[in-house]
C-alpha cells in the first residue's frame, strides 16, 4: 500500500511543470467570473487573474492565453500570474526587435495625463506629448481607446519606455496615401472622398491626402445655381476621376458621372406630345422649371401657360413644390433642354373663337395691363382684348391708358374687331355711347365765349375744362404771357371757341375775347 501511495505521489509531482518567475507560459482558461479569470498553467495550483486585465479582449471566446509568471508561490501557496505583463513583455519584444525609431505603428490612446496622453502599442504603454499630438483644440481631443497611427520618436530599451508622435504620423500617412493614390490613379476610376470646402464654382474633395476639384458643371445632370444645392462641407461622397495632371498636382472629379446620364434616349422616353407629371423646382418671371425625374428638368415658358392671358404673375399662380401636368412640345438633347406647355393640355379657344364672342357685342372684363398706346383686359369668357387709346373716350385725348383705366377695374366694352391671325380681340369703351361731336359743335359754335376752369398750365398753353369730360386748349399764342403766368389749376378763365376738330377730339380756344382785344 505504501508503495502505491509513493508511486502516485511521484506521478503527481512529475506532472507538475517546473515554472520560473519572469517567464511567459501558455495557460488554459478554466472559468470566467465577473471579477476573475481562472487559468491553469499545469502547476499544482491554478492562477486567479483580475478580469480588468482583459479589458478590450473577447475573453468569453478564448480557450488559452499567454500569462506572465510573477510569483511561483506566494505566502498563501498560490501562483501569481499576469495577463497584462505577458502582453507588455511580448509587445516590448515586438517593439525592440521588429521596429525602430521613425517607424509607424498603430496604437490606442488610453487617457490624458499631464503634458500629453498615455498610448498603448502592442500592449505596452508609451507617452504621446501634447506638442506632438496634433490636437490643437479641446474639441479635437480623442475619446478613450481611439485607434490611430503613431510614429516612434524615441525608444529607450533598458528603461522600457518610448515616446510617440501623432503629428508626424499623420504627415507620413498623408504622404503614403498621396503616393498610393497617384500610383493607382486612372481616368474613370471611382474614389471615395470628403467635401473639404465649397466655392461658387465647385467644391474641393479630400481623397485621403490629395485634393481634387469637383466643378459645379460635373455635380448634377440637372442645372443648379450653386454647389451648396448638392454638397456640403463634411459630406462623404463617391466621385469619378475625369482627368488629372501629376506634374501640376491637379485632379478633376465628377459626381454626376457616377450615375447614368438620364438624357440618353430622352427623346424616346418623352416624345413630343407626351403629357407628363412633374414638380415645380424654380419660378422665374419668364417661366417655371418642372422636374420630370431626377436630373431632368423642363421649362414651361410664360407664353405656354395660357392661350388667352397676356399678363400673368407666375409667383401668384404657382409655388415651388407644386405638382403639375404639362405637355412636351420640343426636346433638344444636345442642349439638354425640354420645352413644356400647360396651355396645350387644353383646346386652343382661337380655333373656334366665333362661338365665344361676336362682333359689335357688349362684353365685360377686367383691366389687366398696359402696352404702347393701349390697355389689355381679360374678358369673362377667358379671352383677352386690347383697347387702343383712341377708343377710350370721344372727347378726351388719351396718351397714356393707365391714366384713365386703372388696373383691376371691371368695365364694359364693345367688340370692334376679331383678328384671328394676330389673336387679338379689339375692344372699345367710347363706342358704347353715341358720338357726341355733332351735339358739341351745335352747342359750341365758333366764336362762342364762355367761362371755363383751368385744369393744367403748360409751356405751350392752358388746358381748360368746358364741362364734364370736355376740355379745350388755349395755345400760348392765344393768351397774354402775364395772364398765363398768374394762372393756376381751378382758376376761372373766360375763353372763346376758335376751332373744333372731331377727328382728333380737339377744341381750340383763345383767351383773347373781344373785351380783352379792345383793352389791348
Mean pLDDT within 187-203 = 92
Q: Which of 52-61, 100-109, 270-279, 320-329 has the lowest mean pLDDT?
A: 52-61
Strand partners, 277: 325
Contact 418, 430 (CB under 8 A): no
pLDDT on residue 14: 46
The pLDDT of residue 159 is 60
Rounded Cα–Cα distance for residues 87 and 67 (Å):
8
Residues forming beta bridges with residue 240, ordered by sequence position: 190, 254
pLDDT one-digit tens code per residue, 208-245:
878 899 999 999 888 788 999 999 999 999 999 999 98
> What pLDDT sits at residue 160?
67
Strands 323-332 and 104-113: unpaired
Domains of the chain and CATH, by start = 14-87 (2.40.50.140), 99-171 (2.40.50.140), 185-258 (2.40.50.140), 266-345 (2.40.50.140), 349-432 (2.40.50.140), 439-519 (2.40.50.140)
d(CA 222, CA 339): 15
Name the more confident of 518 and 483.
483
**Is the model's pLDDT at 10 over the cut of 50?**
no
pLDDT at 141: 66
Contact indicator for 415, 427 with CB cutoff of 8 Å = yes
- pLDDT at position 413, please? 95
Least Cα distance to 264 among 216, 331, 325, 340 occurs for 331
Asked if residue 462 has pLDDT above 90, the reply is: yes
292 alpha carbon, distance to own chain's centre? 18
Question: Which 8-state DSSP code applies to residue 167?
Answer: H
Task: Output the DSSP codes for 57-84.
Answer: S-GGG-SEEEEEEEESS-TTS--EEEHH
Cell numbers describing residue 479: 393768351
Would you give the DSSP letter of residue 421? T
Question: Mean pLDDT throughout 145-161?
Answer: 75
Highest-pLDDT range among 32-41, 304-313, 449-458 = 449-458
Query: pTM for this one?
Result: 0.46
State the average pLDDT over residues 468-486.
Answer: 89
Most confident of the following: 76-85, 164-173, 219-228, 452-461: 452-461
Q: Is the pLDDT of residue 506 over 70?
A: yes
β partners of residue 28: 40, 64
**pLDDT at position 9 over 50:** no
**In which band, very low, low, confident or very high, does the pLDDT at 137 lie, cut at 50, 70 and 90?**
low
pLDDT given at position 17: 58
The answer to whether residues 349 and 335 touch, using CB atoms and an 8 Å cutoff, is: no
Q: Strand 47-50's sheet: what is its strand order?
A: 47-50, 36-40, 24-32, 64-71, 80-82
Confidence at 312, pLDDT banded by 50, 70, 90: confident
3-state class percentages of the chain: helix first, strand second, coil last, to nearest 5: 25, 40, 35
Among 37-46, 220-229, 234-243, 495-504, name the most confident range: 234-243
Amino acid at each position: 500500500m505504501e508503495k502505491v501511495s509513493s508511486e502516485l505521489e511521484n506521478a503527481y509531482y512529475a506532472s507538475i511543470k517546473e515554472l520560473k518567475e519572469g517567464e511567459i507560459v501558455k495557460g488554459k482558461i478554466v472559468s470566467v467570473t465577473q471579477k476573475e479569470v481562472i487559468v491553469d498553467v499545469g502547476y499544482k495550483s491554478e492562477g486567479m487573474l483580475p478580469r480588468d486585465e482583459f479589458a478590450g479582449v473577447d475573453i468569453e471566446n478564448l480557450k488559452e492565453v499567454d500569462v506572465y509568471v510573477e510569483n511561483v508561490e506566494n505566502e498563501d501557496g498560490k501562483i501569481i500570474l499576469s495577463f497584462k505583463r505577458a502582453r507588455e513583455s511580448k509587445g516590448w519584444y515586438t517593439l525592440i526587435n521588429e521596429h525602430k525609431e521613425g517607424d509607424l505603428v498603430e496604437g490606442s490612446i488610453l487617457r490624458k495625463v499631464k503634458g500629453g496622453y498615455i498610448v498603448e502599442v502592442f500592449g505596452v504603454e508609451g507617452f504621446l506629448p501634447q506638442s506632438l499630438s496634433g490636437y490643437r483644440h479641446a474639441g479635437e481631443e480623442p475619446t478613450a481607446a481611439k485607434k490611430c497611427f503613431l510614429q516612434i520618436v524615441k525608444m529607450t530599451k533598458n528603461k522600457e519606455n518610448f515616446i510617440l508622435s501623432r503629428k508626424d504620423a499623420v504627415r507620413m500617412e498623408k504622404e503614403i496615401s498621396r503616393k498610393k493614390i497617384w500610383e493607382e490613379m486612372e481616368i474613370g476610376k471611382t474614389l471615395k472622398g470628403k467635401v473639404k470646402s465649397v466655392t461658387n464654382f465647385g467644391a474641393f474633395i479630400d481623397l485621403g491626402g490629395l485634393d481634387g476639384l469637383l466643378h459645379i458643371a460635373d455635380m448634377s445632370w440637372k442645372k443648379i445655381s450653386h454647389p451648396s444645392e448638392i454638397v456640403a462641407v463634411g459630406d462623404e461622397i463617391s466621385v469619378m476621376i475625369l482627368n488629372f495632371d501629376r506634374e501640376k498636382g491637379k485632379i478633376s472629379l465628377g459626381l454626376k458621372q457616377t450615375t447614368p446620364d438620364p438624357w440618353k434616349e430622352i427623346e424616346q422616353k418623352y416624345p413630343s406630345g407626351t403629357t407628363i407629371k412633374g414638380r415645380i423646382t424654380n419660378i422665374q418671371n419668364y417661366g417655371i422649371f418642372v422636374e420630370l425625374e431626377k436630373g431632368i428638368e423642363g421649362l414651361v415658358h410664360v407664353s405656354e401657360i395660357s392661350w388667352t392671358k397676356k399678363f400673368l404673375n407666375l409667383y401668384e399662380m404657382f409655388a415651388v413644390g407644386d405638382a403639375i401636368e404639362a405637355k412636351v412640345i420640343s426636346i433638344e438633347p444636345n442642349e439638354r433642354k425640354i420645352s413644356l406647355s400647360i396651355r396645350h393640355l387644353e383646346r386652343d379657344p382661337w380655333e373656334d373663337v366665333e362661338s365665344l364672342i361676336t362682333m359689335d357685342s357688349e362684353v365685360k372684363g377686367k383691366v389687366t395691363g398696359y402696352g404702347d398706346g393701349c390697355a389689355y383686359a381679360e374678358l369673362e369668357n377667358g379671352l383677352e382684348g386690347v383697347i387702343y387709346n383712341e377708343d377710350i373716350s370721344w372727347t378726351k385725348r388719351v396718351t397714356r391708358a393707365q391714366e384713365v383705366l386703372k388696373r383691376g377695374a371691371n368695365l364694359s366694352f364693345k367688340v370692334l374687331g376679331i383678328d384671328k391671325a394676330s389673336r387679338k380681340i379689339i375692344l372699345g369703351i367710347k363706342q358704347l355711347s353715341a358720338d357726341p361731336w355733332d351735339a358739341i359743335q351745335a352747342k359750341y359754335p365758333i366764336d362762342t365765349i364762355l367761362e371755363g376752369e383751368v385744369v393744367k398750365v403748360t409751356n405751350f398753353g392752358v388746358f381748360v375744362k368746358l364741362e364734364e369730360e370736355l376740355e379745350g386748349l388755349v395755345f400760348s399764342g392765344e393768351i397774354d404771357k402775364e395772364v398765363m403766368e398768374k394762372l393756376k389749376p381751378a382758376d376761372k378763365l373766360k375763353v372763346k371757341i376758335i376751332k373744333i376738330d372731331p377727328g382728333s377730339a380737339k377744341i381750340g380756344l383763345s383767351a383773347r375775347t373781344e373785351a380783352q382785344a379792345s383793352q389791348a
